[in-house]
Amino acid sequence: SWPAQTQQKIQELERRRERCLNDLEVELSQRIQELEAEKESLQRESQAKICNLESHEKEILAKYRDVEGRLRQTEGKLLEMEQSSSDAITRTTSSAAEAVKAAEAVAASEARAASERHAAALQVAVGEAELRG
């Protein structure tokens, strides 16, 4: 009979609909699990990259501090060298000035001695001239 066949068809369609819904639910559940697994994997990768970047940043900061320390040492050494050089120039200038004064004193002493010898020679010559004449 037609109503029985119709009822049977309706029940069959409802069962097919239930199977389709169940299949969709299973597929969606699997896809959700896949996406969650992918999300977790991406989160792990991101965390690993962040850790790597932080580690790299620490290395760069350590190198920067090392270079900064070396620069300070170099600046200190340059200042010491500059002061030492300045002190050496001062000592050399002072020594040169003392040497010039000493040379001037020797020259003045020699000039006095020569002048005194010349004056004595003149006195001797004058005394001889007076004796002769």
Q: Over 80: is that where the pLDDT of 133 sits?
A: no
- Residue 129, pLDDT > 90, answer no
Buried b (16+ CB within 10 A) or exposed e, 97-128: eeeeeeeeeeeeeeeeeeeeeeeeeeeeeeee
- Looking at residue 28, its pLDDT comes to 98
The model's pTM is 0.48
Each residue's pLDDT tens digit, 57-111: 999 999 999 999 999 999 999 999 999 999 899 989 988 989 999 999 999 999 9
- What pLDDT, on the 0 to 100 scale, is given for residue 29? 97
Q: Which two tokens stand for residue 59?
A: 């290395």
